[in-house]
Amino acid sequence: MNSFTEENYIKAIYKLIESEGDTISTNAIAEKMNTKAASVTDMLKKLFAKKLINYQKYQGVTLTAKGEKVALNIIRKHRLWEMFLVEKLDFKWDEVHDVAEQLEHINSDKLIEQIDKFLNFPKVDPHGDPIPDAKGKLNIPKSQLLSKFNKSDVCIMTGVVDHSAAFLQYLDKSGIALGNEIKIKDVVVFDRSLQITINKRNTLFISNDVAKNILVILKPQP
């Protein structure tokens, strides 16, 4: 169907649209794919010919409905495999991404449906990212950045922005994990660093840089 490489381009375009908005430049894709603009242009022609993207010379790129469906299917596989690795094979959340990058290209509908079932149809992956369903429907959760909240707000951690191993390991070491209650004890006005209490137990300081990479929802009042 689509080659390994085509799939990676489609996924990169999807992710760029998700974070940067509407139309995506050749250079942005080149940077994300660690390749050169000339290579991207070649691939854009091919993806356009396959009706996976909307593309006109010099005008940037969007995904067609068909392209978006392909992207969501790859993301579905990626996130289900990450969940499988963490839940069943004792991988840590900072170890799964590179293996999932390979596994997401395995082509077998039965395999991915059985993995989904085996995991009991999870809604989010180990980083709190939502898993598209088999039809490509994605439930976007309405989390916000922890850095947006104020003194004495109480939140529940739902996800991360930065997925790097370094950041995830920092959270582990600090005892900050998905589902934890995060209470803001204090906000330093100067640099917007935070003093927070995790699960009413340990209190620590985190920088604004860190707070901008933690996704939370306000704790629902019982």
Q: Contact positions toward a second copy, by CB under 8 A?
A: 85, 88-91, 95, 98-99, 102-103, 106-108, 110-111, 114-115, 118
Residue closest to Mn ion when measured from CB atoms: 97
Instruction: Give min distance, CB of 170 to a second copy, in A.
Output: 22
Smallest gap from Cβ 34 to DNA, in A, equals 7
Between 87 and 181, CB nearer to a second copy: 87
By a kind-dependent CB cut-off of 5 to 8 A, residue 58 interacts, out of DNA, a second copy, Mn ion, none, with DNA
Residue 54: CB partners within 8 Å, gap ≥ 6? 48, 61, 62, 63, 64
Residue 195 interacting with DNA (CB under 7 A): no
Is residue 58 within the footprint of DNA (CB under 7 A)? yes
Decide: is 210 part of the binding site for DNA (CB under 7 A): no
3 interacts with DNA by CB under 7 A = yes
Residue in 18, 45, 118, 205 binding DNA, rule: CB under 7 A: 45
The binder of 110, among Mn ion, DNA, a second copy, none, by C-beta within 5 to 8 A per type, is a second copy
Q: Which does 41 bind (CB under 5 to 8 A by kind): a second copy, Mn ion, DNA, none?
A: DNA
Per CB under 7 A, residues contacting DNA are 3-6, 25-28, 33-46, 55, 57-60
